[in-house]
Amino acid sequence: MTPDQIESAVAASMPQAIEELKRLAAIPSVAFPGHPEEPVFAAAAVTEELLRSVGLPHVQQVAVEGSFPAIYGEAPAPPGTPTVLLYAHYDVQPAGDPASWRTPPFEPTLIDGRLYGRGCADDKSGIISHITALRAFQGRFPVGIKVIIEGQEEYAGERLEAFVERNPDLLRADAIVVADTGNPRVGDPAVTTSLRGMAAFTIEVRSLKEAVHSGSFGGAAPDALAALMRMLTALHDDNGDIRVPGLPRGSFLGHGPSEEEFRKTAGVLDGVSLVGSGSLADRLWSSYAITVTGLDVPTVSGAVNAVQPVSRARVTVRVPPAGDPKTTVNAVVEFLRQVAPWGVQVSFGDFTVGSGFQADSGGKARSALNRAMERAFGRPPRDVGAGGSIPLVNTLLKQFPAAEILLFGAEDEDAAIHAPNERVDLEELRKVATTEALFLQELSLPSALGI
């Protein structure tokens, strides 16, 4: 196919792609413990159906130990062409408080060219970009294709890592496209070359056998919630820099967002300062970050006059690409033990770790992607980092060191992933799908093959 034909095919299929994204994003496929499992399996079934619809001769659900099924598809490589592995995930973050959403989180809503709803960007847009790119070839793919769509990336992505380590031949490829990142801004093409790793755990603090009256016992009885709050605030100094020994600030060799751009994207309120030291690129892409992502405490509306006997928190640590998540989480846990006040009982559990990633920006596949992205977006891409984590990427790098791993997608910085009012820009989605289709064609050409 010519580039013009590919662009026309993607554009013609966009109405179908939008309807497919709506259908997929309407499924509350939250794979966190405590959430219904039926919607997760329903999303797996729809994903399998979509992959079958684009002409892949082999599609199946594959069991992942301790997790939800992954969807796998493949088409053999034409003689003399490479094989490309396409990755995305069909599970989503919890929606959080529905009152924080301007539209219902699981009723995808189209407003001014953008589709709003949980998972519309992260990462069901990645699934649809793969589907739309593959559909352009009507079953006659220019290169070998393998597809893996996992079902529990947001909560326990390390389970697919173990699957990859046990089944390397299933996913072996010459180039790997990870459609779970995005551009700094809509229309500003970029390839993510750096990912932070992640470590997360739950901390529990106990101080009393049971809650006691705050009037009769307050002032002497140790409050578990107060103890936990003291411990969590000790993680950072007054400037917002991390106080845990052994977690130094890093540096990113490249340009990050300006403070004005970042404040606007993050929604920082007027008069509120940013936290931490160093450039924004350093803080966001090459340094450690510790965030309390959940706290078990009585609600304000349900508050009673009692000293709390137990309190729990979920803590997430972002780890620079060169850092070790296991060493990092051990350092944070040990620090929290040391700063625990009043002899309270402290326990930790529900650990999750995932490694970071640093890409080589050269190579034939990257050159092919540069050409494809420049045609789709009208200008060449630049290298950027990402503060988020994709646990599978480093495992793929270790298993397939000769493969080029390419990270791009439709999740621009304003997409509000993991937050209320998540959305995907549909024109961005079209350009990303066009990029991927052009890339697959480019990779089959003699210039990309070194002929």
β-strand partners of 348: 203
Whether residue 415 contacts residue 424, with contact meaning beta carbons closer than 8 Å, is answered with yes
Whether residue 315 contacts residue 203, with contact meaning beta carbons closer than 8 Å, is answered with yes
Tell me the three state secondary structure of residue 86. Answer: strand
Transcribe 270-304 into DSSP letters.
TTPPP-SSS-HHHHHHSS-EEEEEEEE---STT--
Structure tokens at 167: 């089944």
CA atoms within 13 Å, Cβ hemisphere of 128 = 32
Q: What does the alpha-carbon distance between residue 196 and residue 360 come to, in Å, rounded to a whole number?
A: 15
Q: What does the alpha-carbon distance between residue 334 and residue 243 come to, in Å, rounded to a whole number?
A: 12
β-strand partners of 383: 191
Whether residue 65 contacts residue 159, with contact meaning beta carbons closer than 8 Å, is answered with yes
Largest distance between two CA atoms of the chain: 84
Q: Is 91 one of the annotated active-site residues of the chain?
A: yes
**Residue 27: burial class (beta carbons within 10 Å; 0-12, 13-18, 19+):** buried
Q: Which is nearest to 273 in space by CA: 309, 239, 224, 324? A: 239
* Catalytic-role residue among 7, 122, 150, 153: 153
Residue 260 makes CB contacts below 8 A (sequence gap 6+) with none
Phi, psi torsion values for 414, nearest 5 degrees: -90, 10
Question: How far is CA 39 from its chain centroid?
Answer: 20
β-strand partners of 60: 72
Q: What does the alpha-carbon distance between residue 384 and residue 257 come to, in Å, rounded to a whole number?
A: 10
β-strand partners of 147: 73, 86
What does each C-alpha distance from 398 to 48, 87, 111, 248, 291 come to in angstroms?
A: 28, 16, 42, 25, 28
Q: Which H helix or E strand runs over 346? A: strand 345-354
Q: Is 65 one of the annotated active-site residues of the chain?
A: no
Q: Are strands 190-195 and 382-386 parallel, antiparallel or unpaired?
A: parallel
Q: Which residues are catalytic?
A: 91, 153
